[in-house]
Structures are given as C-alpha cells and as structure tokens.
C-alpha cells in the first residue's frame, strides 16, 4: 500500500511538472530531427513529421503513443498505460494536424 501511495504521489508531481513547464518536453515538427527512436522525444518527432500516430521501435520496455488536436497534455494523457505505469521518458511534438506524444514507462 505504501508503494502505491508513493507511486501515485510521484506520478502527480510529474504530471504537475509537465503542465507547469510545457517547453521542457514540447518540440515542433519543423525542427530539424533525426530518425532517433532511442528517446520518447525522437519517436514523437517522427510521428509528427509523418502525421502518423504509431510505434517506431527502439524500445524494449512499455511504450504508449497518443495523439490530440486539443493540446500536448491531452496527447500525453491519450497514451497507452497513462496513469497505470510510472513514466520515465516523455516526448511531445507538434505536427501539422495536432500533437503527437510518446511515453516510455518503467
């Protein structure tokens, strides 16, 4: 029970931090990028450049991808496993038609 409460608190702090500092994670698809799938940000940028929400490999653990036309935070919340697992890497990029997110979990 203690572990669950600590995990819940850390997740809340992390989500609060993401919303408080949007420029920390967000990138625009027009930025120069490489096809780097070693980070969540790299995957988000690939998704945004292709206007396609999907997995591109490069991760051996749990990964969720999401999309939203509303906001970057909404795209993050649309990712698989959000609220169920502990995020360790988050990437969000703005595409021509919306926000693309990739979240990697422990």
Percent of the chain at pLDDT above 90?
Answer: 55
Sequence-distant (6+) residues with CB within 8 A of 82 are 64, 66, 76, 103
Sequence-distant (6+) residues with CB within 8 A of 94 are 26, 27, 28, 29, 48, 72, 100
SS3 32: coil
What pLDDT, on a 0 to 100 scale, did the predictor assign at position 71?
96
Q: For the segment 77-87, what is each residue's pLDDT rounded down to a tens digit?
A: 999 999 999 99
What pLDDT, on a 0 to 100 scale, did the predictor assign at position 104?
95
What pLDDT, on a 0 to 100 scale, did the predictor assign at position 34?
58
The residue length of the chain stands at 106
Predicted TM-score (pTM) of this structure: 0.68
The answer to whether 102 and 64 have CB atoms below 8 angstroms apart is: yes
* Residue among 43, 28, 27, 16 nearest 104 (CA): 43
Comparing 59 with 43, the larger pLDDT belongs to 43
């Amino acid at each position: 029970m203690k572990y669950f409460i600590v995990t819940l608190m850390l997740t809340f702090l992390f989500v609060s931090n993401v919303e408080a500092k949007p420029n920390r994670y967000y990138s625009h698809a027009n930025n120069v990028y490489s096809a780097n799938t070693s980070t969540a940000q790299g995957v988000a940028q690939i998704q945004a450049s292709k206007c396609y929400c999907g997995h591109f490999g490069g991760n051996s653990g749990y990964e969720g991808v999401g999309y939203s036309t509303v906001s970057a935070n909404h795209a993050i919340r649309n990712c698989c496993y959000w609220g169920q697992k502990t995020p360790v890497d988050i990437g969000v990029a703005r595409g021509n038609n919306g926000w693309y997110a990739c979240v990697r979990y422990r």
